[in-house]
């Protein structure tokens, strides 16, 4: 499974969601100007990245269920 390029792409997408989430949580915890300027933008980026990751995971599962190697 670790040699499958789709698995690697999914892993990168999930890690991107994690990084965006951590930046958002860190900005929220610190507050201040960064949070006021970027909180909503980071939330939108996280939602888009998360939707992409979920779609990739579903596609991967469907492909494997169809007998794909």
Residue 2 and residue 26: Cα distance in Å, rounded?
Answer: 31
**pLDDT band at 12; cut points 50, 70, 90:** very high
CA torsion angle 38 27 10 2 (round to 10): 150
Domain locations along the chain: 6-64
pTM of the full structure: 0.84
pLDDT tens-place string over residues 18-44: 999 999 999 999 888 988 999 999 999
Both ends of the chain: CA-CA distance in Å? 9
């Amino acid at each position: 499974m670790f040699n499958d390029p789709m698995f690697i792409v999914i892993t990168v997408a999930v890690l991107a969601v994690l990084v965006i989430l951590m930046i958002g949580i860190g900005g929220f915890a610190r507050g201040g100007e960064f949070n006021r300027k970027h909180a909503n933008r980071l939330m939108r980026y996280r939602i888009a990245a998360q939707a992409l990751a979920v779609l990739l995971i579903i596609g991967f599962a469907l492909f494997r269920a169809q007998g794909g190697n």
